[in-house]
Chain A
Amino acid sequence: MRTLCVWYPDWPLQVFETAKDLDCQGCLVVEPRPAQRRGGEAQVVRAADLSAQEAGIRIGMGRREAEALCPTARVLQRDLGAESRQFELVIESLENLIPHVEIVEPGLALLPVGGAVRYHGGEEDLVRKVAKELADLAPGARIGLADGPFAARWAAIDAVDEPRIIDDTPRFLASLDVATLEHQELIDTFRWLGVTTLGSLAGLPREAIASRFGAEGLAAHRLASGEDRPPHPRPISPLLAVEAHYDDPLETLDQVAFAARALSTRLMNGLRREGIAPHRVEIQAEASNGTTRTRVWRASDPFIESSLIERVWWQLRVWVEQGGVSGGLVRLRLDPADLSGDGRQLALLETVRGSWEGYDPGRPEAERALARAQTILGPDAVLQAAPQGGRLPGEQVLWRRWGEEATGAERDADSPWPGSTPGPSPALVPDSLQLEVEWDAGMPTRVRLGSRWEPVLNWSGPWRLSGRWWKGEQAADRYQLVTSAGAFLVVVRDTRAYLVGIYD
């Protein structure tokens, strides 16, 4: 779906400048570290003035590190309430042009524009009108238009000087760096594997990515392929929405805050029982005079309880402070949408094409453990194998990296292989180690194992192995040699003996 993104990169600073009339020269705004980003300092930089950025301060950096880089910087605590109130003015202005607005956070909004484009006579006209509207009200917006929220957001980030309209979204996405996925572990692993752009990621088989990186990898692959939203795991039941009626209208901020928390917790408890979480929540509030206000909030990661409480509270606070619920709040409703199956490993089940066949309850844990081993040793060290036809033990195994799709065997294991080495298979198959064997009248008598000679107690062979002469392969003879130190499979080629199997 064509989506317009409006993004204010320095919204926290802009609010301090406009609403609080502060001179933000050399300022940086900090906020508590988001719950999903573990480790590091408790507070991180959310916005920084140009002069602070020139001193090396970056968004997401820890507060102490930033202060060390720029000791003269003035540190401001982010004021989400003020930001929400200010952004509400922007949203209302946007609603004059595009009726459906989804807020991601103060300073970032997404607007599905299918109908509005037709109404305003084309994408360029619509974007121009939006830019003009915002330039008068709150300058500094970056505007991007593309297929889906992810691409639209990166188009907006890219729209430094003027609005950016992306016609060919897959091509635009293909050119983006994997860092745009904003998942550091995945980014590091992809880079290590040589996957540096979303285009190269999208080119990899989805099932292999799901198998190797789990649900997060699958989500990244979808984004890279231009499929922004995960498929809905099941129809959304209207029963999942929660609603509360208040006989005595809620008029004070404290009362509204309590209601926001209680209803958000009720919604998330209900969803948790179903093993799902929403990407989008519609907040509906009814005032005692009968007016109803509605706003949609969206998150790129599914909402968790704390993030939902926060957003419901921001929204209600804005409405209450602006007098949008005159006479008090009498009804509050939260309607979840875009439900994700996080917590049910649904994404992994998709890899078996929607069926439950092959589902192993311990599989995700094993996937993680093997992925970890692959990270430590590299992809070539973690292997799976399938039987295939061949005459020597080493030929009878078709190797593949763990996580890669099994390909058909080059040589059919079920076909007859006349001349194949008789069973059992040696448990150890060295890669043709040269072996010293003593012979007496064509019969093996001794083999050298390390520094000692072991007498051959018994033996079988030779079994002739005819090489493909047209490919220059030589014929060879195979022997099973039994010593007191074990039994060995030996190939003799051109008077030299090679150890190709140990029956350990």
Chain B
Amino acid sequence: MGPQGAVQQPTRTEPVLPALSPGQVVGLEGPTGLGLTRLGLSLLAAPSRVGMVVALDVRGWLSPASAWEVGVIPDRLVLIRCDDRKLWPQVAAAVLEGVAAVYAEVPSGVGEQQLRRLAALNRARRAALMLRPLRGDLPSGIAHLRLRSTGVSWEGVDGGHGRLTRRRISLEISGKSIPLQEMEFEDAFQLTPHVSRFTSHA
């Protein structure tokens, strides 16, 4: 939703992420504030065009408005709030059984085995699973594609004037058969449609 409430158009995030095919897991690693939530939600946009998608919210902070802005269809998005780390694996597994994609914040304390089981279930169900650990990184071998945010810079504000209009997220991308590479992900918010693009640092 933009400043006047209009839902903006989808981002073009999906084509640049080679591993985002059904059954694969994307890991989003890095501290809160460095831009991974909106990026993760944008990965729900394409699956929401074919079925229901779920955002699993551990802190109760996720904003659906942000998901709508990056192209997730409002009627197809369900937010599930679960701050109980014991119930979290059950809930994540239950929703993976039926929806097209899940963006899941991972609370601290969820075991490696539980995450591996979830990844296996995701493979079997051929859904898309984005895991966003709130503390630390994912155990190795779970994510097919790992996006680690190392920094974010913002444009548009200047000494009390303007508003946030553009951000650049520095990302390290690696994964199964993908060598580590640094990339920059850019979001431009003043444009309609809302435009995102990856730029190689090389």
Cα–Cα distance between A381 and B94 once the two chains are bound (Å): 14
Q: Does A472 contact B (CB under 8 A)?
A: no
Q: How near does chain A come to B185, taking the closest CB pair, in angstroms? A: 13
Tell me if A428 and B61 are in contact (CB < 8 A).
yes
Q: Does B180 contact A (CB under 8 A)?
A: no
Query: Given contacts A366-B99, A372-B94, A503-B164, is CB(A381)–CB(B81) below 8 Å?
Result: yes
CB closest chain-A residue, reference B156: A460
Determine the chain A residues whose CB is within 8 A of the CB of B162 once the complex forms.
Answer: 460
Residue of B63, B64, B161 touching A460 (CB-CB under 8 A): B161
Main secondary structure of the interface of B (DSSP, over half): mixed
Q: Does B110 contact A (CB under 8 A)?
A: no
Determine the chain B residues whose CB is within 8 A of the CB of A365 once the complex forms.
Answer: 97-98
Cα–Cα distance between A501 and B10 once the two chains are bound (Å): 22
Tell me if B80 and A381 are in contact (CB < 8 A).
yes
Determine the chain A residues whose CB is within 8 A of the CB of B50 once the complex forms.
Answer: 362
Residue of A367, A384, A458, A462 touching B77 (CB-CB under 8 A): A384
Tell me if B161 and A373 are in contact (CB < 8 A).
no
Determine the chain B residues whose CB is within 8 A of the CB of A370 once the complex forms.
Answer: 52, 54, 78, 95, 98-99
Tell me if B1 and A423 are in contact (CB < 8 A).
yes
Q: How near does chain A come to B1, taking the closest CB pair, in angstroms? A: 5
Tell me if B87 and A431 are in contact (CB < 8 A).
no
Chain B 138-173, CB-CB to A under 8 Å as 1, else 0, gives: 000000000000011010111111111001000000
Cα–Cα distance between A426 and B94 once the two chains are bound (Å): 28
Q: How near does chain A come to B62, taking the closest CB pair, in angstroms? A: 7
Tell me if A427 and B164 are in contact (CB < 8 A).
no
Q: What count of chain A residues pass the 8 Å CB interface test? A: 62
Determine the chain B residues whose CB is within 8 A of the CB of A415 once the complex forms.
Answer: 5
Chain A 405-421, CB-CB to B under 8 Å as 1, else 0, gives: 00000000111110011
Determine the chain B residues whose CB is within 8 A of the CB of A383 once the complex forms.
Answer: 78-81
Determine the chain A residues whose CB is within 8 A of the CB of B90 once the complex forms.
Answer: 376
Which of A362, A381, A430: most chain B Cβ within 10 A? Answer: A381
Query: Given contacts A360-B51, A376-B90, is CB(A423)–CB(B32) below 8 Å?
Result: no
Cα–Cα distance between A498 and B130 once the two chains are bound (Å): 30
Tell me if A369 and B97 are in contact (CB < 8 A).
yes
Q: Does A163 contact B (CB under 8 A)?
A: no
Q: Does A389 contact B (CB under 8 A)?
A: yes
Q: How near does chain A come to B35, taking the closest CB pair, in angstroms? A: 6
**Which of A27-35, A115-123, A341-349, A481-489 lies on the face that meets chain B?**
A481-489
CB closest chain-B residue, reference A387: B1
Q: How many A-B residue pairs have CB under 8 A?
A: 199
Q: Does B197 contact A (CB under 8 A)?
A: no
Range, interface on chain B: 35 or more
Chain B 68-96, CB-CB to A under 8 Å as 1, else 0, gives: 11000011011111100001001100111
Q: How near does chain B come to A358, taking the closest CB pair, in angstroms? A: 9
Cα–Cα distance between A397 and B158 once the two chains are bound (Å): 29
Tell me if A486 and B33 are in contact (CB < 8 A).
yes
Tell me if A393 and B98 are in contact (CB < 8 A).
no
Q: Does A139 contact B (CB under 8 A)?
A: no
CB closest chain-B residue, reference A390: B5
Determine the chain A residues whose CB is within 8 A of the CB of B152 once the complex forms.
Answer: 486-487
Q: How near does chain A come to B193, taking the closest CB pair, in angstroms? A: 13
Q: How near does chain A come to B63, taking the closest CB pair, in angstroms? A: 4
Q: Does A179 contact B (CB under 8 A)?
A: no
Determine the chain A residues whose CB is within 8 A of the CB of B62 once the complex forms.
Answer: 427-429
Tell me if A369 and B68 are in contact (CB < 8 A).
no
Determine the chain A residues whose CB is within 8 A of the CB of B151 once the complex forms.
Answer: 484
Tell me if B68 and A387 are in contact (CB < 8 A).
yes
Tell me if B1 and A369 are in contact (CB < 8 A).
no
Residue of B37, B63, B94 touching A373 (CB-CB under 8 A): B94
Q: Which 5 A-B pairs have the closest CB atoms?
A: A486-B33, A369-B98, A460-B157, A413-B5, A427-B37
A-B contact pairs, 27 of them (CB 8 A): A362-B100, A363-B51, A370-B52, A370-B78, A370-B99, A373-B95, A376-B87, A376-B90, A376-B91, A381-B80, A383-B80, A384-B75, A384-B78, A387-B7, A388-B5, A396-B1, A397-B63, A423-B69, A428-B32, A430-B61, A443-B160, A461-B160, A462-B160, A480-B164, A482-B164, A487-B164, A488-B33
**Given A424-B164, A460-B161, A503-B38, 11 additional A-B pairs, CB 8 A:** A362-B98, A369-B95, A370-B95, A385-B77, A396-B1, A402-B78, A422-B163, A424-B38, A425-B69, A480-B157, A486-B34
